[in-house]
C-alpha cells in the first residue's frame, strides 16, 4: 500500500491508517492512567498531583500559507489552542517546530511569526521553545509548522469526546464550512475579493465561559472532515445518537453559494474556529447565552440533542430526516 492524500484528510481512511499502522505498533500509549493514544481524543493527558496536564499536537501544511481570513501562523496557534481547550484545559504554552523551504522570504516568515504572536497574546499563551529546520528548494512546498500545546485542568475535570449522555443538548458555536470553502474558492481563483473568509480563531474564551456554567459533558472542534465527522465521532465514541435540526446549523450565504457551485458539502469541510459542545439539558440555555457573549460565539445555536439511537440524524423543518454520515475523507485537501 502507498499513502494517499485521503490518509491525511481526517476521515475514515485516516482513522484506519492510524489504527493499522500507528496504534498497532506502539506499546506504551499512556502515562499515569491519563488519556492516551488509543483514546484518539483531541489530545492526551498526564495526571500529576491534583492536576491533569493536557498535550496536543498538529502539523500545519495549509496551502496557500496566506488565505482569506488568516495565515499558517494564526492557524497553527489557534488550532492547537482549540484542541487543548476542547479537552477542558486552560492552554498555557506552545512549542513551535518550523520546517522552511530554502529561498523562503524572511519577510513572510516575520509576518507569520507576528500572526502567531497575535493569537498568543489574545489567548494568554506563551511560545516557550521551538525548532527550525530548512529543506532544499524543490524538497518542500513553502513551510510546515508543527505546534504542540500544553494546558492544565483540575484532576477529574477533563472533558472527553466520548462522554455525551442521552438528553444532552448540542451547542454549535457558529457557522460551519467557512474555512474549507474559503480555501477552496481562493484556490479556484476567486482570490481575496470575496465575502468568504476562514473562521480561524481561538475558541478558548467560548469554552471557558461554557465550562463556568457547569453543564458541559463533551466537546470537539470540527476541523478536518467538518461538522459531519465531528458529530459522528462524538456520537460513536459516546455510544449514542444525535438528532440535529438542520435549520439551526448556521451557514453563511457565500458558503452555500460556493458549496453549490463546486459541489462540495459544507458539513464535510474543515472549520478552524468552531466548537461543538454537549451540555446537560437543564443548563443548555444558560450556557448558550454565555457563549453568545463571547467574541467568536455570537452566532451559537443549540442545534440538537443526544438520543438513544446510534446515528446522527438531520431533521429539516418540514420533518424530513436523513442520516448524516462521516466522510471517507475531507473533500478539500491541505486545509490545515
Where does this chain bind ligand ATP (CB under 6 A)? 10, 18, 22, 37, 40-42, 58, 79, 83, 96, 98, 127, 129-132, 223-224, 336
Residues 131, 188, 195, 282: which binds Mg ion (CB under 5 A)? 131
Q: Give the DSSP H/E element, type plus range, for residue 47.
A: strand 44-48
The smaller minimum CB distance to ligand ATP, of residues 112 and 170, is found at 112
Strands 276-279 and 169-172: antiparallel
The smaller minimum CB distance to ligand ATP, of residues 42 and 205, is found at 42
Going by C-alpha positions, the residue among 262, 242, 289 that lies closest to residue 188 is: 262
Grid coordinates representing 138 are 524543490
Residue 225 φ/ψ, nearest 5 degrees:
90, -5
The smaller minimum CB distance to ligand ATP, of residues 100 and 258, is found at 100
Shortest distance, position 116 Cβ to its own copies, whole Å: 7
Shortest distance, position 24 Cβ to its own copies, whole Å: 8
The smaller minimum CB distance to ligand ATP, of residues 69 and 246, is found at 69
Shortest distance, position 141 Cβ to ligand ATP, whole Å: 18
Residue 9 and residue 159: Cα distance in Å, rounded? 25
Shortest distance, position 322 Cβ to Mg ion, whole Å: 25
With 0-12 / 13-18 / 19 or more C-beta atoms within 10 angstroms meaning exposed / middle / buried, residue 257 is: middle
- Contact predicate 182/69, CB 8 Å: yes
The smaller minimum CB distance to its own copies, of residues 90 and 292, is found at 90
- By CB under 5 A, name the binding residues for Mg ion: 42, 58, 83, 131, 221
Amino acid at each position: 500500500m502507498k499513502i494517499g492524500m485521503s490518509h491525511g484528510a481526517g476521515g475514515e481512511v485516516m482513522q484506519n491508517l492510524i489504527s493499522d499502522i500507528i496504534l498497532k505498533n506502539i506499546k506504551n500509549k499512556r502515562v499515569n492512567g491519563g488519556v492516551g493514544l488509543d483514546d484518539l481524543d483531541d489530545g492526551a493527558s498526564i495526571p500529576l498531583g491534583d492536576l491533569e496536564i493536557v498535550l496536543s499536537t498538529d502539523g500545519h501544511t495549509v496551502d496557500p500559507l496566506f488565505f482569506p481570513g488568516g495565515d499558517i501562523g494564526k492557524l497553527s496557534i489557534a488550532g492547537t489552542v482549540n484542541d487543548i481547550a476542547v479537552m477542558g484545559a486552560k492552554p498555557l504554552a506552545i512549542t513551535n517546530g518550523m520546517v522552511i523551504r530554502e529561498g523562503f522570504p524572511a519577510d513572510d516568515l516575520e509576518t507569520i511569526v507576528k500572526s502567531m504572536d497575535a493569537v498568543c497574546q489574545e489567548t494568554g499563551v506563551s511560545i516557550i521553545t521551538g525548532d527550525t529546520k530548512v529543506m532544499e528548494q524543490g524538497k518542500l512546498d513553502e513551510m510546515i509548522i508543527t505546534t504542540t500545546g500544553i494546558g492544565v485542568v483540575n484532576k477529574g475535570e477533563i472533558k472527553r469526546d466520548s462522554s455525551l449522555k442521552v438528553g444532552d443538548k448540542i451547542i454549535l458555536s457558529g457557522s460551519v464550512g467557512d474555512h474549507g470553502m474559503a480555501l477552496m474558492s481562493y484556490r479556484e481563483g476567486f482570490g481575496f475579493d470575496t465575502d468568504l473568509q476562514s473562521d480561524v480563531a481561538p475558541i478558548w474564551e467560548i469554552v471557558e465561559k461554557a465550562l463556568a456554567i457547569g453543564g458541559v459533558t463533551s466537546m470537539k472542534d470540527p476541523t478536518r472532515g467538518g461538522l459531519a465527522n465531528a458529530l459522528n465521532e462524538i456520537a460513536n465514541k459516546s455510544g449514542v445518537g444525535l438528532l440535529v435540526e438542520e435549520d439551526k446549523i448556521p451557514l453563511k450565504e457565500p458558503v452555500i453559494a460556493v458549496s453549490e457551485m463546486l459541489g462540495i458539502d459544507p458539513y464535510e469541510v474543515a472549520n478552524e474556529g468552531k466548537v461543538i459542545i454537549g451540555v446537560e439539558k437543564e443548563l443548555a440555555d444558560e450556557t448558550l447565552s454565555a457563549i453568545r457573549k463571547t467574541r467568536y460565539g455570537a452566532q451559537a445555536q443549540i442545534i440538537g440533542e443526544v438520543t438513544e439511537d446510534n446515528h446522527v440524524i438531520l431533521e429539516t423543518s418540514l420533518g424530513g430526516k436523513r442520516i448524516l454520515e462521516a466522510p471517507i475523507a475531507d473533500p478539500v485537501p491541505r486545509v490545515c
